[in-house]
Amino acid sequence: MNPVSIYFIGKKQGVGLRRFRLSKLENRRHLEIEGFQDAFQYIRQVRFIKNADIIWVRARPEHTTDYDRKVIDKHLTKFRGTVPIINDINIFDNYDCKEITFNIWKNKNFQCPDYITLSIDKLKNQFSETVDEVNQFIKKNNKIFLRTNNETAANGMIFLTKYSSQAEIINAIDKLIKRCEKFLPKRSSTRLMCVEYIEPQDNNIQEIFRVHVLFNKILSFYAVNSKNIVFHNIDMTEYDISKFIKINKKFCSLMPELEKQIIDSVNAIGCKIAAVEFFIKDNKPIMLEINPMWGGHASQHGFGNNMFQKYLKDNKNKLKKDIPNVYWFMKKRLYYKKLYKSISSHCINTTIS
């Protein structure tokens, strides 16, 4: 059987011949290219979109402007309905704007944090009414994030509680309006929102669960934990290791029960490939966000800080039975080979999706 032809489309790949260069692949992850090349029997990159059996839109959301979206959209118009497109740009807002993501999920009966969206126009013209809205939201939820709807890496997020003073709240709103105004000319879906803070379930240690889904199948999953209010995998230190092992073990045993819901949550957004993040309360997910282009610290370097990573490496033989999910995610070259092989099988086994 001939290998499947894939065409990558994204902002960074540029146009014309440069788009062929894998070194330009947007959000390239460590050993991804090597894994892709290992799958050469099954899948190869093509230079011209017209020769593609499948197209993968790899645009990093936070760097994608309205103009970029238009350009990508124009390139895709001819192929919709005939060539499968991974993460079509026409569902961009579904994952990029957190309030749209939450709204889609809520309509499909997924649990999400409570939220409200604040209109920038209203904030400018009826500032005190909007401050009242924020105050009421804080009163209802006790702890909240005031945040922009489309930033990553914890940018544009301010934690407010019922103990925050009016001056702190107004200052936070002012600060974030300025951020929004900076983004609005190029990213017109930018909004300000209030989101309920989901309390940790266990002794002030927050646990966040992350699953990578690829065409209705789970490719990998792991959980991270921290005492911090806002954190990512990179923030885990040696003090978090024992909890990390415990929750990943638990996650492995919960997975069969969660699997269908997780896959459905990704399908609801319209992504073919995505990382989805959630909390777990009473064995049920509370959805937090979806990233179509994962590639953060865990993908590049592994879990936690240097000591954390060393611990996992040194104790691999002892731990891999309990937390195989963690070690699978770190087997990068093989992991990406599997990812690309799965894209190829999907193409061969389905007519169009």
Interface residues with ligand ADP (CB under 6 A) are 113, 145, 152-154, 195-198, 208, 230-232, 277, 288-289
Which residue's CB is nearer to ligand ADP, number 89 or number 198? Answer: 198
Which residue's CB is nearer to ligand ADP, number 32 or number 196? Answer: 196
The distance of closest approach from Cβ of residue 217 to ligand ADP in the complex, given in angstroms and rounded to an integer, is 23
Residue 221, SS3 per DSSP: strand
Across-strand partners of 118? Answer: 192
The distance of closest approach from Cβ of residue 277 to ligand ADP in the complex, given in angstroms and rounded to an integer, is 6
Residues 6+ apart with CB under 8 A from 112: 102, 105, 106, 286, 287, 288
Other CB atoms within 10 A of residue 105 CB: 23
In angstroms, rounded to a whole number, what is the distance separating the alpha carbons of residues 331 and 302? 10
Q: What single DSSP character describes residue 295?
A: -
The H-or-E segment that residue 90 falls in is none
Which residue's CB is nearer to ligand ADP, number 55 or number 247? Answer: 247
Which residue's CB is nearer to ligand ADP, number 42 or number 92? Answer: 92
Tokens representing 2 are 């001939």
In angstroms, rounded to a whole number, what is the distance separating the alpha carbons of residues 221 and 326? 8
The distance of closest approach from Cβ of residue 195 to ligand ADP in the complex, given in angstroms and rounded to an integer, is 5
Tokens representing 304 are 């936690």
| Of residues 136, 135, 137, 142, the one with CA closest to residue 167 | 135
DSSP output for 192-207: EEEEEPPPPSBTTBEE
The distance of closest approach from Cβ of residue 83 to ligand ADP in the complex, given in angstroms and rounded to an integer, is 30
The distance of closest approach from Cβ of residue 177 to ligand ADP in the complex, given in angstroms and rounded to an integer, is 20
Which residue's CB is nearer to ligand ADP, number 7 or number 303? Answer: 303
Which residue's CB is nearer to ligand ADP, number 49 or number 154? Answer: 154
Residue 317, SS3 per DSSP: helix
Which residue's CB is nearer to ligand ADP, number 55 or number 144? Answer: 144
The distance of closest approach from Cβ of residue 316 to ligand ADP in the complex, given in angstroms and rounded to an integer, is 26
Residues 6+ apart with CB under 8 A from 179: 148, 151, 156
The distance of closest approach from Cβ of residue 353 to ligand ADP in the complex, given in angstroms and rounded to an integer, is 27
Which residue's CB is nearer to ligand ADP, number 80 or number 297? Answer: 297
In angstroms, rounded to a whole number, what is the distance separating the alpha carbons of residues 328 and 340? 16
Measured over the CA atoms of residue 264, residue 265, residue 271 and residue 275, the dihedral's sign is negative
The distance of closest approach from Cβ of residue 264 to ligand ADP in the complex, given in angstroms and rounded to an integer, is 20
